[in-house]
Amino acid sequence: MAATPQSRATPRFYYGWIIVGLGFVTLAFQVVFRFSFAIFQVPFIQEFGWSRGILGGAFSLSLLIYAVSSPYIGSLLERKGPRAIMPWGCFLVAVASFSGFFINSIWHIYILFGIVGGIGLALNGFATNTAIMPRWFVQKRGRATGITLSGIGIGILVLSPMIERMIDMWGWRMAYVAYGAIILLVITPASYFIMRDRPEDVGQARDGLPVREEEKNPAEKAAEETAVDKSVRSVFLALKGDYRFWAMMFLYFAVGFNNNTIISQIQLYFVDMNFSMASAALVLGTVGLLRTVGSISGGWLGDRLGRGWGVAASALLVNLGLILLLLIPFLGGGVLPAYLFAVIYGLGIGGMSACGSALGGDIFEGPTYGIIVGFTEICYGLGGVVGPPLAGFFYDYTKSYVVPFSLIILFIFISIGSALILQKSLSQQPKKSAA
C-alpha cells in the first residue's frame, strides 16, 4: 500500500528533543554559574573578610539585571529568534567567569557577577529556554520542559562538587578561569550550531507529529506574527487586567525568593553546623540530583493530571523540606537529616519549576509568550533580589536563618493558591491542537 503524503511527512526523529538536550546542557552550565556563588562566597569571606550581606547584594544585583532585562530580551527573542540571541548569553557568562581571575575588590564582583553575568543569564538561561518550549511541544510540553530544566539539577549535582574540587586544588581564581573556558569553547559554539528557531525550520511540526498539507508555510506564519505588536509596553497593557497574569507573577516571585535564597545560603548554613566544605557541597549536589528527578517526574505528572496540580503538590514538598531544614540544628545536625532535606526539597523545587513553566505556556502561548516569560522573570528576579541579602543581613544581626526561611515557607503556601487558580482557568480555555 502506497504511503500517504501525511505518513511520508512523519519524522523518524523529532528535532525538538535535540533542542531539549541542548537546553539541558546549557542550563547546567549557565545557571550553575549563578548558584556556584554560594561556593565562592566561602573563600571570598576567608580572603577578603566581606560580610554575607554585602556578598548577598552582588547575588541580588545579578538577579535584578536578569529580571529587568528579561522582558526586553523576550521581545528580542520573538522578533529575531533564539539562534540570534542565545549564544551571546553563553559568551557573556564565559567572559564574566574568565574575568573572575582578576577579582580584588567587592565592586569587581558586582560588575562581573552582577551585571555581565546577569545579562548573560537573561540571554540564555531559564527564561529563554522555557520560552521556546511552546514552539516545539504541546501535549508533551511538561515532559520536555522538565527534562530541559533538569539540566539545572544535574549541573548542581555534578558541577558544584567539581567547582569545589577545583577551588581546593587550584584556588578560586583558576577555578573561575577553568569554568569560563568550558563555557566559551564548548557550550557557546553548541548553542549557535545546534539551535533552530522553530520545527518548521527542519521541516517538522510540534510534538513530532506529521506536517499537514493544510498548515501555513513558515513564511505565512512569520508574516502573521510580524503583524503582532511585540513591544514590552503593549504586551503589559494587554495583560494588566488579567488575574491569571498576576497569579503567575506571584507564583514566580515565590519560586525566586525560595530558590535563590536557599541556594545562595545553603553552603554557609551547613558550614555553620560544622560540615566540611566538601560535605556541604555534596548536600547541594544531592539537591541538584533530586531536582532533576523532580523536574522530569513533575513534568510527566503535570502532563497527566494538570500542571497547576503539579505545582501545588511540588510546593507542599518544598515546604516539608524547608521545615526539616530549620529543624536540623535541633536534631543534633548530622548527615541523615541533611540528606533527607536534600531529597524532599530537591524533588519539590524540580517539580514546581517544571510544572510552573509548562503552566505558563498552556495559558499564555502565542507570539508574545517570550515577553510574558520575561515579566514572570521580573518577579522571579525580584524574589532573588530581596531574598539573599535579607537572609544574609538577618544572619549578620541574629546569627540565625529562622526568620527568612520561615518567610519563604509562608510565600510557598500562598503560591499553592495561585497554582490552583491558574489550573481552574485552564478549564475555561479551548483545547489547543498539537500540530
For residue 102, count CB atoms less than 10 angstroms from its CB and return exposed for 0-12, middle for 13-18, buried for 19 or more: exposed
Q: How far is CA 321 from CA 191, 196, 317, in A?
A: 35, 38, 6
Of the chain, the end-to-end C-alpha distance in Å amounts to 25
CA 164-166-172 angle, to 5 degrees, is 85
- Extract the C-alpha cell encoding 352: 514546581
Q: What is the pLDDT of residue 215?
A: 54
**Domain boundary assignment for the chain:** 16-199+241-426
Q: What is the pLDDT of residue 90?
A: 96
| Cβ(295)–Cβ(310) below 8 Å | no
Instruction: Please state which CATH number belongs to domain 16-199+241-426.
Output: 1.20.1250.20
Q: What is the pLDDT of residue 358?
A: 83
Residues in the chain: 435
Distance CA 298, CA 256 (A): 18
- Sequence-separated (6 or more) residues with CB below 8 Å from residue 301: 142, 310, 313, 351, 355
pTM of the model: 0.76
Distance CA 297, CA 283 (A): 21
- Scanning 100-242, the segments in alpha helix (DSSP H) are 106-109, 117-123, 126-131, 133-136, 141-170, 172-182, 188-194, 218-226, 232-239
Per-residue pLDDT of the chain (435 residues; tens, 9 = 90+): 444 444 445 557 899 999 999 999 999 999 889 878 878 888 898 889 888 778 878 887 887 898 889 999 988 998 899 999 999 999 999 999 999 999 999 999 999 999 999 999 999 988 899 889 989 998 888 889 889 988 887 887 788 889 988 998 999 999 999 999 999 999 999 999 999 999 988 888 888 877 765 455 555 555 555 555 567 778 888 788 888 989 888 998 999 899 888 877 887 888 888 787 778 878 877 887 888 888 888 888 878 888 889 899 999 999 999 999 999 888 877 788 889 999 999 999 888 888 888 888 888 887 778 888 888 888 887 887 788 888 888 888 888 888 889 999 999 999 999 899 988 887 766 554 443
| Cβ(205)–Cβ(11) below 8 Å | no
- HSE, side-chain direction, 13 A CA sphere, residue 420: 10
